[in-house]
Amino acid sequence: MSAQDDQPLKRVLVTGGAGYIGSHVIFALQQTRRYKVISIDNHHNSSPKALERVAQIARDSLPSTASEKDKDSAEIDAHTVDLTKRDEIRKVFEKYGKGGIWGVVHIAAYKAVGESTEIPLTYYENNVSATVYLLQIMSEFDCTRIVYSSSATVYGTPPVIPIPETTRLEAHSPYGKTKVMCETIISDLCSAEPKRWRGLSLRYFNPAGAHPSGLIGEAPIGRPGNLFPLLAAIAVGRQPNDLKVFGNDYPTPDGTCVRDYLHVLDLAKGHLLALDALAPESKVFDNCPSDARYKAYNLGKGKGMSVLQIVEAMRKATGFDFKYEIVGRRRGDVPDLTADPSLAEKELGFKAKEDLETMCRDLWNWQTKNPNGYDS
C-alpha cells in the first residue's frame, strides 16, 4: 500500500464547475483520484447536466478494484451558488469547516469582451467583487491556496510576440481589466500574508475542443461569442451560415486576427499541475523575488492560428462549406495573441500537446452528439 492510498482525498472547490473550462478541469482532477471536487456555479451560462456527465466519465473509468475512496473521488459535491452573495459562499465553506477545503480553482466569471464594453458595471461586480468575497470567506475558513483563471487579454496589445509573463499588464476591455484586477488582488494578498497564502494565476490563451467521449463540451447559451463554438453551431445548422470576420487588414500573415489555440484538456491538465504546485513541498516559489508566494503562468501552445486558418480547419473536420463576410474591426480586438509558454513548461511541466486537427475533431464529435448542447 503506497503512502498515497492511506491519504484522505483533498477537497478542492472549483468555481464555475459546470462551465466549459470548469467541467474539463473537474475531469482532470477526478482522473487522479486524489481530490474530492466541490463545485459551485450559478448556471448563468452553464448547465447542471455538465456535472452529471463529468461524474459519469469518472465513474466509468474506475477500475473493478476501486476502493471506497476511489468511488468517492468520482462523485461531485455540487452547490448552486452566486459568488456575489457572501452568505451563499459561506454556507458552502461551513459545510466542510475550518481547514476543510484544501484549495480553490477559481474559474467562474463573465467572459465576453464585447459585452463587457456595454455593461462594465455588471462585469466588475461579477468578476471582481465576487473574487474579493470568495477570498474573504476562504481566509475566514483557513483555505489559503488558490489557482486563478486569468486570461491573455491582460496583455492588451503586447509589445513582444510570443508573449512572456514579464509583459506589462494593460488590458483594453472591461473584461480584461477585471482579470488584471483579480490578479493584482491575489498578488497583494500573497504579499500581505506570505506565510498563509499561495496563489497562481493561469493566463489562458484560447481553449478549444472537448473531451473525446463527446459527453462534455462547450455549450454557450444563445449565439456563441467565440469562433470555434460558433463554427460548430453553424455546421450543425443551429446558427445561420453568415460568419462575420472582423477585419482582414491586421499586421498578420493573412490580415485576420491570430490567436493561440490549445486543447481544453491540455488546459485542464495545466490547472492540475498548478494545484499540485501549491502543495507545501512544491519548489515553484523558490525563485520568487520576495517572500510572497505568487506567480502567473501562460497556458498556450506557443503557436498562433488566424481566423481564416481556423475556418479552414473546421471545414476539413466537418465537411461544411462556411460562408463568411469580412467586416470592420471589432473594438477591443488585438492583432496577435500568441503565448510564450516556456515558463509553465519549465516550472510546472506543462505541455499543450494536442494539435488543431484534434481540437476540431473533438469539438465536432461533441457538437454532432449534442446539437443543442446539454439540452439535446
Q: Are 293 and 333 in contact (CB under 8 A)?
A: no
Q: How far is 314 from 303, CA to CA, in rounded Å? A: 17
Q: Pseudo-torsion of CA 365, 259, 311, 318, nearest 10°? A: -10
Q: Are 309 and 254 in contact (CB under 8 A)?
A: yes
Q: Tell me which of 148, 175, 250, 294 is the catalytic residue.
A: 175
Q: How far is 249 from 375, CA to CA, in rounded Å? A: 39
End-to-end CA distance of the chain: 44
Phi, psi of 140 (to 5 degrees): -55, -35
Q: Cis before residue 162, ω within 30 degrees of 0?
A: yes
Q: Is 175 considered catalytic here?
A: yes
Please give the single-letter amino acid code of residue 170: E
Q: How far is 47 from 268, CA to CA, in rounded Å? A: 19
Q: How far is 294 from 288, CA to CA, in rounded Å? A: 8
The catalytic residue positions are: 175
